[in-house]
Structures are given as C-alpha cells and as structure tokens.
Amino acid sequence: MTALLTTNLGSTKLIGRGKVRDLYAIDGALLLVATDRISAFDHVLATGIPGKGKILTQISLFWFDLLSSIVPNHLIAADVAKFPASLRPYADQLEGRSMLVRRAHMYPVECVARGYLAGSAWKEYSASRTVCGIPLPAGLKDGSRLPEPVLTPATKSQDGAHDENISFETTSRLLGKDVAVELRKLTLALYAKAAQHAEDRGLILADTKFEFGFMPNGIILADEVLTPDSSRFWEASAWKPGGAQPSFDKQFVRDYLESIQWNKQAPAPSLPANVVERTLGKYLEAFRRLTGRDLPL
C-alpha cells in the first residue's frame, strides 16, 4: 500500500494544505481530505504512514456520531457517492479519508480538555503548580490524574507551529464571557463522555483538543475529533504516574527521530519501514479498541 502524501482534485479550489489535511472549497461547503502525511517536532516528514488518513477520518466519524447528542457537528457527508458529481472522478483519493463539511466561523481558540497531567501541562505544573493559571494540588507526578478534568485553552499559532496555552480569563476577553463559558461547558461534557467510552475499552483519555465554530443556528463541533493525532490515549492497565505512559500515537516516530542525528530543521528525514509499520499498527489498534471494529485498508 502506498501512502497518499498530496491530493490533486483537478479544478476543485484548493484552500490550503495543513500538516495532515488538504482543504478544498466546493459548492459553498468545505472538503477535508486526510492524507497519510505525518509530522513530528513541527515538521512534516518525508515518509507517510499508508492508510493513516483513513484511520483518522473513520475515528472522527465514529466520535461525531457518538457525541452528536451533546453538540451538533459540521459533517454533511463522508460517502463519496453523496459528494457533488465533480468530485467523483477522484474517488480513489477520497474514499474513506474525506469529509464534506459545513463552513463555519471558527473560534480562534483550541479547547483542550485535560483529565491527566502530561505534556505542556506537566511542564507548567512543575514550574508553578498551575495549568493555564488553574491552581493544582502539590505532589502530582507526570501522568497523574487531576482532581477533576479542566479546560486549558490555547491560541492557534499563525505559522502552524506551537500553540500557546492561555487562561480562561484571556479566552473570555477573546471570545466574550458567554461564549467562553459555553465552550468550557461543551468541552468538559464531550471529554466526560469520550473518557468514559475509552475507559470502558481499557483506555485512558489523558487529554484532547476540540475546535468549535459558529453558525447562524449556534455552536458546532468541527475539524477532527478525538483521534490519536489530537489526543493522548493511554493503556489503562499500564498506567503508572511518574513518567511517560504507553500511548496510541506517533511515539515510535518521535523516538526514532530522537535517536538519529537530526537538528529538527527542514528538510525532515525519511522513516525506516519498521517504524512506519509499528506506527500504523498503533493507529489501527486505537481504531479497533475505540470502535470495536476492524478497518480494512
């Protein structure tokens, strides 16, 4: 199987290419296509993970359906047969990895929900015993469960690199108090339901990020949701606070890149076959564990 690194949909208007997704404008809507690109340390690597885009898309579709009772989402269709006729000649690039979605005014804040201390939250806690200005108890470790889940917002970087954690007060100034309160409520409700689902399947949802938009009829959930690219899923049976946890993401890729002589500058290196295979295996396992289904690629 060959990795799809770049899409080409003929005369369909390309709006932009992110680290993973290609975005097109089509008949007043948007088309999100998840490629097999993979990034690490803020760089897209020369090697893709074959089928990764399909896995991410199918996981998002699963969660959109499961969480629809909490908040509407932007999905119009994910079946190429239901796309505009102009897209059907490109079915080989779109099948299983694309979503036709509504256009929305996107809020310029990522809503990060955390139930456990990890990543940038652990770094901040180590320095100040706070996370996004929220005081936390003393004695927590890397990987500790928080007393209760919290919203730790982040601003979206303009250059696609690092996002910046901000306080709820800053979020309120950016979006307005009422919107900030509503987004916090939705974020924590989505996290609670998703975390319980993951727990029922032997996984810990340590943290995740949600992106919301606004339409005339209210707030909607947009972009991807609860994938291994936007979330930390840990093996519950192996959870042991005090360091890095076994996770369902691109850790094999990060570990390999740390083991070679690369200065974290472009151009990014290629990946050996064994790292590609192990990473793909982790993404597939995450899909199986979360959905209870196998995904033929």
Report pTM. Answer: 0.94
**Domain segments of the chain: what residues?**
13-103+250-291, 105-238
pLDDT in 10s for each residue of the chain, 297 residues: 899 999 999 999 999 999 999 999 998 999 999 999 999 988 999 999 999 999 999 999 999 999 999 999 999 999 999 999 999 999 999 999 999 999 999 999 999 999 999 988 999 999 999 998 899 999 999 999 999 999 999 997 655 556 789 999 999 999 999 999 999 999 999 999 999 999 999 999 999 999 999 999 999 999 999 999 999 999 999 999 999 898 998 888 988 999 998 999 989 999 999 999 999 999 999 999 999 999 998
Class of domain 105-238: alpha beta
Tokens 């007060």 sit on residue: 169
Is 102 within 8 Å of 220 (Cβ atoms)? yes
Secondary structure string (H, E, C) spanning 51-102? CHHHHHHHHHHHHHHHCCCCCCECEEECCHHHCCHHHHHHHHHHCCCEEEEC
* Helix-strand-coil split of the chain, %, nearest 5: 35, 25, 40
Give dist(CA 2, CA 157) in Å, integer. 31
Q: Please, is 110 exposed, middle or buried when counting C-beta atoms within 10 Å of its C-beta (0-12, 13-18, 19+)? A: buried
3-state SS, residue 189: helix
Residue 13's DSSP bridge partners are 25
| Angle ∠(222,227,229) on CA atoms, nearest 5 | 100
In DSSP terms, 111 is beta-bridged to 210
d(CA 182, CA 70): 12
Q: What is the CATH number of domain 13-103+250-291?
A: 3.30.200.20
Q: Report d(CA 101, CA 201) in Å as an integer.
A: 29
Which among 187, 190, 106 has a CA at the least distance from the CA of 153?
187
- Is residue 85 within 8 Å of residue 27, measured between CB atoms? no
Phi, psi (rounded to 5 degrees) for 172? -65, -35
Q: What's the CA gap between 267 and 281, in Å, rounded?
A: 26
- Distance from C-alpha of 131 to C-alpha of 119, rounded to nearest angstrom: 11
Q: Are 144 and 126 in contact (CB under 8 A)?
A: no
pLDDT at 249: 85
